[in-house]
Amino acid sequence: MSVQFIESKVPTDLRRALAASAKVQTLWKDLTPLARRDWISWVETAKQAETRKRRVETIGSRLVSGKRRPCCFAIVPMNLYKALNTNAKAKEQWKGLTPNERRDFSNWIELAKESEARAVRVQKVCTMLAAGKRRP
């Protein structure tokens, strides 16, 4: 069975930062699609504009130094991890997801800017997973 992967769209601010250096562009293109997606998610899940700006500004130097993934970026938000431990059916479905499908759920949660909205999404994810869904 082949897994389809849709490449994430690079946000404008990140695209500009990557374009500033040919070496950084080459390193970016050398990353796997999932690694690029993790970097993009890391930028897009910043809650404050200053954090996002700082992340975008440091990606080039991180790539040049050999980093292939963002540091300290949890693929599974802690609140989802805890919620899955209280819902056996959702946890079992989670185990069967591809890394791509897991990232889709995690990204959907993290893109909610308010903590209350993220908490609601965590519960929705558990409900969706328990019902057998593989995408948010």
Q: Which pTM was predicted?
A: 0.62
- 72-109 pLDDT, tens digit per residue, is 666 677 789 899 999 999 999 999 998 888 888 988 89
Task: Report the C-alpha gap between 33 and 68 in whole angstroms.
Answer: 11
Classify the phi-psi angles of 97: left when phi > 0, otherwise alpha if psi is within -120 to 50, otherwise beta.
Answer: beta
What's residue 2's pLDDT? 47
What's residue 99's pLDDT? 80
What's residue 38's pLDDT? 86
pLDDT below 50 — which residues of the chain?
A: 1-3
What's residue 115's pLDDT? 86
Task: Report the C-alpha gap between 39 and 131 in whole angstroms.
Answer: 30
Q: Tokens 């993220």 label which residue?
A: 118
What's residue 73's pLDDT? 61
What's residue 100's pLDDT? 80
What's residue 93's pLDDT? 95
CA dihedral 21→26→30→33, nearest 10 degrees, is 60
Rg (CA), the chain: 16
